[in-house]
Amino acid sequence: LVDSGAVDNVANRASFPEYRLRESEGSQNGLHYLAAHIGKIKNQGEQLLTCRSEDGTPFKLRMQVAEVSRPILSVIRLTESGKEVTFRKDGGTIRDPTTGMSTEFQRKHGVYVLRMWIRTGKQAGHNPESGFARLG
């Protein structure tokens, strides 16, 4: 999900089990997120994912790990890294003004969704030759 209200990129540990979980500043400092339906959710650490957009653009994505129902992409983190994010009625665009590269996302069932490929395999976070076998 592409979320303009999320403070971090967050995924459940089970979403990307092949990626190493490591300590993050948030997990070391006891950071929690708030969810309307269950209250506090503990930050368990982070994972660095190797990804490709549907159009083939490669990128790395740092995800904080917490007990969420689906991966969440934070617009705040995207804009802090220099990206421009535009929302439209039917979807939107993430644009890197430095490279001019753009990635489109769709609006489905009232939420914004970015489809991307996640590198899989035992060496997913370390081996650039691994395949992109899973659409996230």
SS3 helix, strand, coil % of the chain, rounded to 5? 10, 40, 50
Confidence of residue 132 (pLDDT cuts 50, 70, 90): low
Q: Which pLDDT belongs to residue 129? A: 46
Instruction: Give the model confidence (pLDDT) of 2-25 as tens digits.
Output: 999 999 999 999 999 999 999 998
Token readout for 88 is 């439209």
Helix (H) or strand (E) holding 105: strand 102-108
Mean pLDDT for the stretch of residues 55-81: 92
Phi, psi at 45, each rounded to 5°: 135, -155
Confidence of residue 32 (pLDDT cuts 50, 70, 90): confident
Q: Which pLDDT belongs to residue 133? A: 56
Mean pLDDT for the stretch of residues 40-59: 90
Q: Which pLDDT belongs to residue 113? A: 96
Q: What is the distance between the alpha carbons of residues 136 and 134, in angstroms, rounded to a whole number?
A: 6
Instruction: Give the model confidence (pLDDT) of 69-118 as tens digits.
Output: 899 999 999 999 999 999 999 999 999 999 998 999 999 999 999 999 99
Q: What is the distance between the alpha carbons of residues 127 and 47, in angstroms, rounded to a whole number?
A: 15
Confidence of residue 128 (pLDDT cuts 50, 70, 90): very low
